[in-house]
Every structure is written in structure tokens, then in C-alpha cells.
Amino acid sequence: MKKRIKRIAQKSNRKLQKIISGMDVNLMLPIAEVLTATQWHIEQLAGAAGMRIIQQIIQDDVRQLAGEQRYARDGKEGQLWGSQPGWVAFGGRKVTVDKPRVRSKTTRRELRLEKYERLQDGPRLDQAMMDQIALGLSMRNYEHSIEALCDGYGIKKSSVSRHFVQASRRELEDLLARRLSDLDIGAVFLDGIHRGGHCVIVALGVTRDGGKHCLGLWQGATENSAVCEALLQDLIDRGLDTKQRRLFMVDGAKAVSSVIRKKFPGSEIQRCQIHKRRNVVEHLPETHHPDVERRLKAAYGMSSYKDAKAALHRVLDYLERVNPSAARSLEEGLEETLTLHRLGVADALRVSFKSTNIIESSLSRVEQISGRVKRWSGGDHLQRWTAKALLIAEESWRKVKGWQHMSTFMDSINPMVAKKLA
């Protein structure tokens, strides 16, 4: 049986090779235009066949200028005039190709092959390197990491490092220049990540349709009010309307809450319930942790604001007898941990907004990727790596749980805006 399967497989392989050897791809516009715009996807899907397609794209460039033959008299502007060694960006490396030369029949000057030049597009090469380095490939091993599907030459470590800095800086600049006026942001998550003695505060927004968007980031020494204020001012400068009321989710830093009230008056602040529970139990002996955790979780799990607040005050009375410090920890900012209850947010949407887990899961991706950096330098080093990791995470972001209630929630805290839209 195994021998029969092996014979069938060999026969199928011979047929496939015969079909491939007889392929003659004739690309006509606008198909060639589409393929040049999606070259990176061709490389991923087609491998060696992708190089054949690229060769046909270059030949199509020649046909557009010079026709089919060297001395064709078909009214074309140019004529084929030999060839020279060239290269295209393929699979994150430079690959040698045979570049045809086309000269003008009138001026005798060489004509540009536009599609060939687009296939040398630097950003595609940079993007391939950035993705592989960010996902764990060291710059030292980059040259030997790619198994060649065709003859090509890699890129040295020093060049990879230079390309990565330039490309990641472009991505950081693009992220920090995003216009926010076109996004109907109803909720904003704020949190920070610490690396190399520095802190980067990140803002993540949720739109009316439940989609998540990276709004911006700002670097400082700690999550202090000055850094947070600079970040919020940057969001305002890029179009985030201060007159619209929003829900801000924070982990509990007082400095952040005070700046939010200053920059976005009227907006609501929801303190992370998980952080609050964690802070309270840290004041207690381990023997009390399970019981207090259960009481707090039950209180925050209630739908009614009145019931939840009453339950928390009962826990507060209990903690006064067990450990007054734990009671003070629960009392501090208690009202802000019940903002969702007070606003009557639907239970399904409350799951997403009761904690900062949404932004923390994205920052864990930042920690995973930036954790490979052994030595942090100054400048925008930390910002570039943070931005790259966030952009990678952003590609897989889904809508928040309970997103169907997002529009109703935004209208409820902005009744005048909802009335105008109606």
C-alpha cells in the first residue's frame, strides 16, 4: 500500500513539473498593476512562481515601451537595447534579475522601466526585515535566516540595523501623525509600560462600532501628570474633540485621573476593578485573600449601582475590623470603580470596560517583543519598539465584547449629540 501511494505521488509530481515548465504567463494591464502593488503577498504565496511573475511584469514594461521585438516598427516610443544585471526586492532580500534596457528611438536616451523601479521599492524590503526582527530574528543572523527559493544575496547585519531604525522611525512618525477627527471614539484606555528606566504611556481608543485603535504614545520617566498631560494634548491636537464626553479607563493612578478631568471636562473615569481588588488584598495576610477576593468580586458583579455600592461598604466595614489600611485602600477611589454601574452600562459591554485588560494584553505583546532588547539607548529607541509591537498587535485586534451596546452607551452620555444626529 505504501509503495502504491509513493508511486502515485511521484507520478503527480512529474505531471506538476511538466505543467510548471510549460507555463507562459502573459500579464495585461491592469492585472500587472495590481500585482506590483501586492508584490509582498505574491512572494508569500507563490515563492519561486512569484519570481517568474515578477519577470513577466518587467517584460510587460518592455512591451509597453518597445513592443515585442528589438527593431519593431509598431509605433512604440522605444526599442530594446540589450540588458544588464539588476535586482528586485523579494522575500526580504535583494534578488538578482536580468534587467532589459530600452532606449528612445528619437533621443537615444534610456527609458525608465516604472514597474521594475516599483519592484525595488525600499519600504517593502524594510517591512520584511522589520517584521522578522520584531518577531524574534536577530540582526546578526538575518543574512543566513532566509532559505533561498532562488539565487539572491542577503543583507549584512550593519545594513539590517540601519534599515530597521529608518523603517521603524517612519512607522512611529506615521502612528504619531494619525488624524483622530475621523474616528468616533467613545472610550479610551490609558496605561504605561516600563523599559530601560523609561516609561511609555499608551492610549487605545474604542469607536462606536466597537473597533480598537492605537491613538498614540508618549515617553517619560514615570506615569506622572506631565507625561499624561502631554499625551492627552497630543491627542487633542490631532483631532480628539474635548467637548464630547467619553469613558476613560485607568489603572488607578491619581495623576492620570486629575489630568483627564482637566483636559476632558465632563468625561467619565472608570478605575480598573481588578487593580483595586489586587491593591486591597496586598494589605492583608494570605489567609484572608480568598475571602476578601470573593466579597469584592461579588460586589462588582452586581448589576445595580445601589446594590454594588452597598455591598462594597459592607466589605469596607469588614476590613475596618481586619486591617484599617486595607479599608483605606478600598475607600480610595471607590466611587470611580463603580462608574459603569452608575451609568447603567449593559452587562455585556461592562465586561470589556471594567478593567484595563484590553490595553494590558496589547502591552504584553510589547513586552514580549521588546524583551529581546538587551541594552536600551536614548532617543526614540523605546518609542520605536513600542510602536512596532503595537502595530503588530493592532493587526489582530477584534471588536470589544458587547460592542453592540457601544452606540447606545455613547448616546446616553452625549444626549445632545445624539439628538443632533437624530
- pLDDT score for 402: 93
Would you state the pLDDT for residue 198?
81
Confidence band for 310, pLDDT divided at 50, 70 and 90? very high
Better pLDDT: 316 or 144 = 316
Please report the pLDDT score of residue 350 as a whole number.
93
Please tell me the predicted confidence (pLDDT) of residue 22: 54
| Residue 68 CB partners (closer than 8 Å, separation 6+) | 74
- Pairwise CA distance, residues 87 & 93, whole Å: 10
391 class by beta-carbon count within 10 Å (0-12 exposed, 13-18 middle, 19+ buried)? middle
Q: Which residue do the cell numbers 509591537 mark?
A: 389
Strands 93-104 and 185-195: unpaired
- Label residue 11 by pLDDT band (50, 70, 90): low
Query: Predicted confidence band at 90 (pLDDT cuts at 50, 70, 90)?
Result: low
- Most confident of the ranges 115-119, 255-259, 343-347, 390-394: 343-347
254-263 and 225-237 are packed helices; what angle lies between their axes, rounded to 10 degrees? 30
CB distance 165 to 384 below 8 Å: yes
Beta 198-207 vs 212-220: how paired, if at all? antiparallel
Average pLDDT over residues 123-147: 49
- What pLDDT, on the 0 to 100 scale, is given for residue 135? 53
Q: What angle do CA 358, 360, 366 make, to 5 degrees?
A: 120
- What integer pLDDT is reported at residue 55 of this predicted model? 73
| CA distances from residue 48 to 20, 89, 294 in whole angstroms, order as listed | 11, 14, 59
pTM for this one? 0.65
Mean pLDDT for the stretch of residues 9-36:
54
Please report the pLDDT score of residue 140 as a whole number: 44
Quick: pLDDT tens for 349-383. 999 999 999 999 888 877 877 777 777 777 788 88
Q: In this model, does residue 159 exceed pLDDT 70? A: no
Query: Number of C-alpha atoms within 13 angstroms, CB side, residue 285?
Result: 4
